[in-house]
Amino acid sequence: MAPLCSSLRILAVLTMAMACHIPPSLSYSRPPARRTLSVPLAEDADEVTPQQVHISLVGADKIRVTWLTEGEAPSTVDYGTSSGVYPFSASGSASSYSYVLYSSGQIHDVVIGPLQPDTLYYYRCGSNAGRELSFKTPPAHLPIKFAVVGDLGQTGWTNSTLNHVSGSGYDVLILPGDLSYADTDQPLWDSYGRLVEPLASSRPWMVTEGNHEVEKIPMVESTPFKAYNARWRMPYDASGSKSNLYYSFDVAGGSVHVVMLGSYTGFGSSSDQYRWLVEDLAKVDRNRTWVVAVVHAPWYNTNKAHQGEGEDMMDAMEELLYAARVDVVFAGHVHAYERFTRVYDDGANGCGAVHITIGDGGNREGLAEDFQDPQPEISLFREASFGHGQLEILNSTHALWSWHRNDDDEEVVSDKVWLTSLSSNPACITK
Ligand SMILES: *[C@@H]1O[C@H](CO)[C@@H](O)[C@H](O)[C@H]1NC(C)=O
Ligand SMILES: *[C@@H]1O[C@H](CO)[C@@H](O)[C@H](O)[C@H]1NC(C)=O
Ligand SMILES: *[C@@H]1O[C@H](CO)[C@@H](O)[C@H](O)[C@H]1NC(C)=O
Ligand SMILES: [Fe+2]
């Protein structure tokens, strides 16, 4: 939603004018955006205290641990399966970046493994005796549960969403872009890192970029994605990609293939991303695989916000995803929830992907409440509320998708639907 609308919303609250057209609701009046939280550094933290720890998957049995220290500190991770006992150790490297007058701390990057599936590991970063963390690796087979949440930000609503995600029993989190809403104010990347650490250090967080990650300033900062690429390095090289802006990963022993696409880098038929996607999808074994794709700007969208912004990418890439029988496409960007039927080429198609917009994580810009009227038939469920989604893939044929709305701070399951895989539908099997 345009910042203008957010400001108007504040005005609306002050004057009771309906500046942003808040549609009537039967049972739930939608709340305004909440303020940006400030998550300070722990009082006893010093130059070498690990902070902002998050983990991501690397290949079938490794995990990347990423964290920051204010000053120089060892890039090592000690780990094991019993608390306080670390028979394994790995080391990596540290880097930093500068942005206008800001200099980041040391960003440490260590890949650990091989790790056992579905196992709780205890670890500490930089040999720091004071801080033990733990994570659970995903299972090596189905079932597996994903939490899906876009446009997260770092407000009171973000915290509410994170509390719900935390209790969901998820294995892997997928974030379809727009993480911190730092919007060039670099210390906000640090406070975002601290806000999400309790979750992001205990389960893999797999992210792709949104427009808020670009952070270019004309004449001053010409390199896009400086903070994002430095702080949220994803396993692009493990999937043959040359860019942190798009990659893929497998989970559950290859039963699920997830393609994280980049809406803000080249995607036309002569682009690196396009060529990489062709190769990546060709490797997918459709006999046993669910395929999920993730973008930031939605390709299908009946919200008045961001109309048509995903269209060029859809024109370029939808055919590839359709031919590869991608089951679900997640998007963010629009700050609302919307679920479509299986679609292709602007119409319902039983072999197309279910498109789901889940850009309602809780950022400071607020909700996108204005939908096109009447609701087109391909749009099955839409609502402007903060919340998150859960995709539980049970076996080769069935998955359960649910959307969990933040009813104020109560989690309420508001949309729930069974999905059956295209690989199990004879009508959709190609060749
Ligand atoms: C986030 O929510 C939890 C649980 O309600 C609360 O304890 C915590 O203080 C909140 N964090 C912030 C930064 O507001
Ligand atoms: C994949 O499925 C097709 C059609 O159901 C079958 O003919 C083929 O043998 C399967 N391939 C593998 C490797 O299981
Ligand atoms: C997958 O799980 C669903 C729901 O529990 C069940 O109905 C179906 O029979 C299962 N399919 C297979 C192939 O196990
Ligand atoms: Fe966005």
Render pLDDT for 260-292 as a digit per residue (tens, 0 to 9). 999 999 999 999 999 999 999 999 987 778 999
For residue 39, the ligand 1 atom closest to its alpha carbon is 13
Measure 123 CA to ligand 4 centroid, in angstroms: 34
For residue 245, the CA-to-ligand 4 centroid distance in Å is 15
Give the containing element (helix H, strand E) for 247. Answer: strand 247-251
How large is the angle between the packed helices 187-200 and 156-166, nearest 10 degrees? 20
**Residue 192 to residue 155: CA distance in whole angstroms:** 10
CA–CA gap between residue 55 and residue 61 (Å, rounded): 13
Query: For residue 20, is pLDDT > 60?
Result: no
User: What is the distance in A from the centroid of ligand 1 to the CA of 347?
Assistant: 43
Q: How far apart are the CA of 159 and the centre of ligand 1, in A?
A: 6
Q: What is the pLDDT of residue 236?
A: 98
Which atom from ligand 3 is nearest to the alpha carbon of 396? 13
Instruction: Give the model's pLDDT for residue 28.
Output: 58
Report, as an integer, the average pLDDT of 194-206: 98
User: Locate tokens 């446009």: which residue?
Assistant: 151
Q: How would residue 135 be classed by pLDDT, with cut points 50, 70 and 90? A: very high
Confidence tier at 38 by pLDDT (50, 70, 90): confident
Question: 55 CA distance to ligand 1 centroid (A)?
Answer: 22
Which residue's alpha carbon is at the smallest distance from atom 7 of ligand 3? Answer: 398
For ligand 3, is residue 397 a contact (CB within 6 Å)?
A: yes
Rounded distance between C-alpha atoms, residue 190 and residue 283, angstroms: 37
Q: Assign 305 to helix, strand or coil.
A: coil
> Which residue's C-alpha comes closest to atom 11 of ligand 3?
397
Cβ neighbours for 357, distance < 8 A, ≥ 6 positions apart: 150, 298, 300, 301, 303, 330, 331, 332, 333, 334, 336, 337, 338, 339
State in Å: Cα 288 to ligand 2 middle: 9
Q: E strands, 345-385, where?
A: 347-348, 353-358, 379-383
Mean pLDDT to the nearest integer, 97-120: 98
Token digits of residue 266: 């080249």
Please name the helix (run of DSSP H) or strand (run of DSSP E) that holds residue 113, with its range, or none: none
CA distances in angstroms from 119 to 23, 80, 134, 361, 395, listed in the order given: 46, 10, 10, 28, 20
Question: To test ligand 3's pocket by mutation, which of 287, 398, 424 has the most ligand atoms within 8 angstroms of CB?
Answer: 398
pLDDT recorded at residue 4: 34
Confidence check: pLDDT of 25 > 60: no
Residue 91: which pLDDT band, with cuts at 50, 70 and 90? very high
| 271 pocket-lining for ligand 3 (C-beta < 6 Å) | no
Instruction: State how far the alpha carbon of 39 is from the alpha carbons of 61, 69, 105, 354, in Å.
Output: 32, 16, 16, 37
Ligand nearest to the CA of 38: 1
Would the pLDDT of 353 be above 80?
yes
Question: What is the structure's pLDDT at 429?
Answer: 84
Top-tier CATH class for 51-136: mainly beta
- Distance in angstroms (rounded) separating the CA atoms of residues 152 and 363: 5
Q: Which two tokens stand for residue 287?
A: 């006999």
Q: How confident is the model at residue 29 (pLDDT cuts 50, 70, 90)?
A: low
- Tell me the ligand closest to 40's alpha carbon: 1
**Banded model confidence at residue 130, pLDDT cuts 50, 70, 90:** confident
Contacts of 97 (CB under 8 A, 6+ apart): 103, 104, 107, 226, 227, 230
Confidence class for position 23, pLDDT limits 50, 70, 90: very low
Q: What is the mean pLDDT of residues 70-84?
A: 97
Q: Probe ligand 1: pick from 161, 163, 406, max atoms within 8 Å of CB?
A: 163
Compute the mean pLDDT over every residue in the chain, rounded to the nearest whole number.
92
Residue range 370-387: mean pLDDT, rounded: 97
Ligand number nearest to the C-alpha of 181: 4
Q: Is 92 a residue whose pLDDT tops 50?
A: yes
Sign of CA dihedral 211, 217, 223, 228: negative
**What is the reported pLDDT for 2?**
38
Provide CATH 3.60.21.10 ranges for the chain: 144-428
Q: What is the mean predicted confidence (pLDDT) over 344-368?
A: 97
Q: Which of 397, 400, 401 to mutate to test the pocket of ligand 3 (most atoms within 8 A of CB)?
A: 397
State the pLDDT at residue 431.
Answer: 56
Assign 230 a pLDDT band (cuts: 50, 70, 90).
very high
> Residue 250 pairs with which residues in a beta bridge?
257
Which pLDDT does position 309 carry in this prediction? 97
pLDDT at 31: 80
According to DSSP H, which parts of 296-341 are helical?
Answer: 311-323
pLDDT average, residue stretch 401-408 = 93
Indicate if the pLDDT at residue 15 is higher than 60: no
Give me the mean pLDDT over the 356-371 stretch.
96
Known active-site residue 257:
no
Query: Which atom in ligand 1 lies closest to the alpha carbon of residue 195?
Result: 13
CATH 2.60.40.380 residue spans of the chain:
51-136
Q: Of 108, 257, 296, 306, which is the active-site residue?
A: 306
Residue type, 245: L
pLDDT: which is higher, 43 or 377: 377
- Around ligand 1, the residues with Cβ closer than 6 Å are 37, 39, 159, 163
Q: Which of 16-20, 210-214, 384-388, 407-411 has the lowest mean pLDDT?
A: 16-20
pLDDT higher at 5 or 240: 240
Burial classification of residue 223, based on how many CB atoms lie within 10 Å of its CB (0-12 exposed, 13-18 middle, 19 or more buried): exposed
At residue 340, the pLDDT reads 98
Q: What share of the chain is helix, strand, coil (3-state, %, to 5)?
A: 20, 30, 50
Q: Of the given ranges (37-41, 241-245, 322-326, 383-387), which has the lowest mean pLDDT? A: 37-41
Residue type, 71: G
Class of domain 144-428 (CATH, top level): alpha beta
